[in-house]
Structure formats: structure tokens, C-alpha cells
Structure 1
């Protein structure tokens, strides 16, 4: 917790103080170099950590403290969606890192198989229990390139699109279309800004604070429901937007879309 407070004081809060300036300077900007952090520190967060081992160690320990926060827990993924209703099916976990989420889902739902996709330098650090090797496998993949795994039941992406602008989110969905079978689900789990008064005030305050922190780092913020609807519908008329549901006691929401069009069709 000491490392978390120090990281916030030294790195994040000075960036938060420059958010307004960054938004005015780059009104359509999203990315690491058009941010309050850049204005405050003259470099991105990643560059700051790469160039200072002390700050990197402190940041890693701070993120470890955050991982103990139940609002970030994988249990919200396991319990927040009706995975059992899929029966025997394949789930593609895009940007899934070393497979932390897929491994927990595989333990809870023995009929599901998982393909975890990420950069090679990430997945090469993955490890699996012997009991999961037949049901969880790894693949190098760029989410903006055409999806190579066809006919999966669910294409799942967690806490990745939060760092992308709306145009990139549309491009991500379009890259999935050639792989989608009728009824395939695209499930996005991301932080979300709820409509005012729709959750307890303490929770809404936390969402708004996260909103400012996100702006300070990437000049973007957790999206509201209308933004998600617009992104899904812009990606292709074959997508049916099913809506957004907040995961109980979590800082994230599930955005669900179902493919109703023909394979490979943008119409």
C-alpha cells in the first residue's frame, strides 16, 4: 500500500492535474503520448518505468496491492456471465496475457475449451497445470488482424479496449467478422462509467476517480453505455447489440454483442 500511495503521488496525480490541458490540446486523441502524464513528465508511463528500475519495482508492487482488491478479482468473470449455458464450446480469450482468467474459467466449467491470444513475448511466460493442458492453449495474435480461430462460441476480451479509442474498437470488431458463426457472442469486459444515480454513491465516486486517472494516462476514459452501442452498431449491421451489465461488486461491466449476419459480411 505504501508503494501504491507513492506511485499515485509521484506519477499519477501530477498527470491528473494536467488532464484538462491534454484534452484541450488533443480533443480527439487517445494513446500514451497525448496525455496529462506526457505533459507532466515529458514521457509516457512505460518509458518512465523502463528508465527507472526503482519506480518500476514500486509500480509492480503497487499493482500487486491493487490485484488484492476484490473489485478486480477474476471471480467477477467466473460469476458474472452464464458460461455454463454454453455447454461444450470454445472460448477465445483475446489479449488474455498468461491465461489467468481462462485457467480459472476452465476449472469452473469443465465443458469449455480456451484459446488464449496475446503477443509472443507475453504468452511465452505462461504455465499450465497438467490437468488444464488439454483445454487451455496459447496463440500469438494481434487483435486488429483477422481472427484466425473460426466458429468459437465466445470471443472474450477483458480490460484491453479501455486503452483504445472508439475507431480502434470498431476496427477490432470488424477483424472478428470473418471468423464469426451465426449466434457467436462477442463479450467485452471493461471499466464503465454508469449513468448517474444507478449505483451507490461511494461506487460512483470510485468510477469517476478512475475516469480521471484513465484520462491522465491514455487521454481516454471508461465508456458509457451509449458509446458501446454506437461502437457495436458501427462495426457492422450483422451485430446485434445486447446491452451492458455491471458485474456485482466489480469496477467492470460486460458488454455483449451477438453476430446475426453472414460470415465475412460487413452488412
Structure 2
């Protein structure tokens, strides 16, 4: 976004609900600004719940992630616990709607479930994906996505996967 100096461009959180992840990040990184996106009713209800000490650095915006991403040129787009709920068709659609907003070397950080248990994949959720599934779907969405790393923090059920945009 042009109004931010290069070093302070915002992180984009898509489907961010109350902005808890952005608030936690804002507490850790004092120069971080974020835009939390969700449906208008969610945005209306949630923006008042952000802690006062970081509220000035967290903005809210109504957005449907099944449509083109309106926030351009952010350094990072955080997709937290979103993609596992969608079939491959919609997962790819969500990612493709990010493409027009991405600048070269932008990061897409996915904080979501990665299934390592075949039984869980079969019995619990047909959209649970193994790490190779996640990687392949990014490549299917656009071959200019470059999967960088995946790690599961100790004590967490979620993984952090980092993908870099190599386009433009």
C-alpha cells in the first residue's frame, strides 16, 4: 500500500475474525501494521475487541476471499485456519485471487492443519491435507508460488507454511 513506507507495509490477514493473530504479532513486532479481512458483519462486531495498545496498527476491512484481493503489495498475506475448510477447487480459487495483489517476493504464510495420519484424513475431515498436498495445490494454483518451508511449532496442532511469490 502506497501510504506505508517500505519497511512498514502491512501484513494482510484474510478471514481474520477478531484479529487475535494480528494482535499477538503486533505485540511482538512494534513496527507491524495489519489489515484483518472478514465478512462485513464480522468486521463490525470484532474490531472493538482488539487490545487498545495495538488497535492503532490493526485495521479491519470487509472482504470475501473468494473474490479478488483488494489490498495490493503487502509484504505478507497470512491465511490462518482457512484453507483446510475448502475443497481443492476453492483452495486454488482463493490463492488465484491473491495473485493480482502480490508483488515479487511477497510471502504467503499459511497457519493451518497438516495431516500426517492417514486415518485422520479418511475419518475426520476429507480436506485434511498432507504436506505434499499443500505444496502441490500451491503449484497448481500458479507455478510462480515457491514453497519455502513448513514447520510445526512445539505444542501446536497447527503448522506454519511459508510460500514466496516469484511472479512479475
Give the paired residue count: 161
Correspondence for 1:212: 123
Shift of 1:104: 1.3
Shift of 1:211: 6.5
8 Å contact from structure 2 (residues 92, 140) kept in 1: yes
Correspondence for 1:162: 84
- Mark the runs of 5 or more structure 1 residues left unpaired by the alignment: 1-86, 195-203, 263-267
SS of equivalent to 2:96: helix
Give TM-score, length-normalised by structure 2: 0.87
Listed as ranges, the matches of 1:115-264 within 5 Å are: 115-126=35-46, 127=48, 128-194=50-116, 209=120, 212-213=123-124, 215=125, 220-262=126-168
Tell me how far apart the structure 1 counterparts of residues 8 and 63 of structure 2 sit (CA, whole Å).
24
- Mark the runs of 5 or more structure 2 residues left unpaired by the alignment: 1-6
- The verdict on how the C-alpha distance between 1:208 and 1:96 changes in structure 2, with shifts beyond 3 A counting, is farther
8 Å contact from structure 1 (residues 89, 111) kept in 2: no
Tell me how far apart the structure 2 counterparts of residues 138 and 186 of structure 1 sit (CA, whole Å).
19
8 Å contact from structure 2 (residues 149, 161) kept in 1: yes
Tell me how far apart the structure 1 counterparts of residues 139 and 112 of structure 2 sit (CA, whole Å).
18
2:33 pairs with one of 113, 123, 130 = 113
Give TM-score, length-normalised by structure 1: 0.56
Shift of 1:221: 3.4
Question: Cα RMSD (Å) of the superposition?
Answer: 2.0
8 Å contact from structure 2 (residues 121, 129) kept in 1: no
Tell me how far apart the structure 2 counterparts of residues 249 and 183 of structure 1 sit (CA, whole Å).
30
SS of equivalent to 1:244: strand
Normalized per residue, the structure richer in helix is 1
8 Å contact from structure 1 (residues 193, 211) kept in 2: no
Listed as ranges, the matches of 1:49-64 within 5 Å are: none
Correspondence for 2:3: none
